[in-house]
Structure 1
């Protein structure tokens, strides 16, 4: 008898079949409680399950976005081996990103790398185990605009971007500057402050 898996698919669509979303990621940790508290703090997340050795966290419509499981004796992440470098999370707008930056800074959680990539404004953090997490906001309104920037001479010349000062952006926001003016929209380098605080 022929296996159903070996039978041809009837009326197969000619369009691509792709995942609908990235569902979650899982962290192996030697210190679950500290790592779980860090992610709960950073993302204002809740635990749908946490038995002290394994935790599942959520902060949106997904049943869990992050899971953390304890494995004793693990070594620190090694940047000299191949693997996933970091995981990135997008915020709705620059205001939400900056308000999150301020909230975390007040709790002693600060980014080790702050950069205007051109297509995004990004703050990079490390969790207690050294895993890298990027909090970002898109600098363009549409994917097509971002793709156009990726294909531009400006991106080819500087694909990484330029470092920025989040406190300078917060100061401008608090002073009443329109949030959209805080986004570079691909003009990488235009947002670094001079010594007097003015835009370069």
Structure 2
């Protein structure tokens, strides 16, 4: 059948094969992702790559804005959402049982976002367990992909990455057993004083997890202080 890849077939274009040149990045599938190709979609073979810890859901989006109040009111009206926490720098809103589905950051905050174009700050994915987050970090680290920031926000333990275009991606795990506990924390004095969180050393946290330290300790802010 024309256009359908057969296992073991050469994925290079005919002109590349005939010329004897190595395959270009645009016409060849990386060896570790070789597997089945159908309708232009590469499906990784379980035999060729390690098992991947997948996110369980997309958690939230964060936008940069010059007018938090206007954007907040628009999204709250459109989604029927409510404000969970707000200050002059950031606002969190939610419309369901998630502690926040969207957040809006003051783009004019000195020294932070005023030089960055666009309004998307990052998208976030929730991992199923703390161990999944650690496995995910370890796998990406082995591929040379390191987080640009690792921070315990209080509600979540989070690792931020940047794609080749600079788009932010957060992988997180919940630190509280229930959303009620999390929202109570977000409305408490600790979060009011520091709604951003505390940086941590991912390698130290991974080492502590691998040696079996209690999860209740690992999810605490300050459990793996950044250098």
| TM-score bucket (shorter structure) | 0.5 to 0.7
Q: Is the CA contact (8 Å cut-off) linking 2:124 and 2:171 kept in structure 1? A: yes
**Aligned twin of 2:172:** 136
Cα distance change, pair 138–49 in 1 and its aligned pair in 2 (3 A): farther
Q: Is the CA contact (8 Å cut-off) linking 2:160 and 2:168 kept in structure 1? A: yes
Runs of 4+ in 1 over 2 A off after TM superposition: 46-52, 59-62, 78-82, 178-181, 192-195
Q: If the length of structure 1 is used for normalisation, what is the TM-score?
A: 0.55
Q: Does 1:116 align with 2:152?
A: yes
Q: SS of the residue aligned with 2:120?
A: coil
How many Å separate the matches in 2 of 1:94 and 1:141? 12
Higher strand share: 2
For residues 57-76 of structure 1, the aligned pairs below 5 Å read none
Q: How many residue pairs end up in the alignment?
A: 129
* Superposition deviation, residue 128 in structure 1: 1.4
Partner deviation per Cα, 1:39-67 (whole Å, 9 max, x = no partner): xx9xxxx9986479xxxxxx6899xxxxx
Q: SS of the residue aligned with 1:89?
A: strand
**Aligned twin of 2:162:** 126
Q: Does 1:104 align with 2:104?
A: no
* Superposition deviation, residue 82 in structure 1: 4.7
Q: If the length of structure 2 is used for normalisation, what is the TM-score?
A: 0.49
Cα distance change, pair 155–106 in 1 and its aligned pair in 2 (3 A): same
**Aligned twin of 2:81:** none
**Aligned twin of 1:95:** 131
Structure 2: runs of 5+ lacking an equivalent: 1-25, 43-53, 58-113
**Aligned twin of 1:191:** 223
Partner deviation per Cα, 1:71-92 (whole Å, 9 max, x = no partner): xxxxxxx953451210000001
Q: SS of the residue aligned with 2:131?
A: helix
* Superposition deviation, residue 179 in structure 1: 3.0
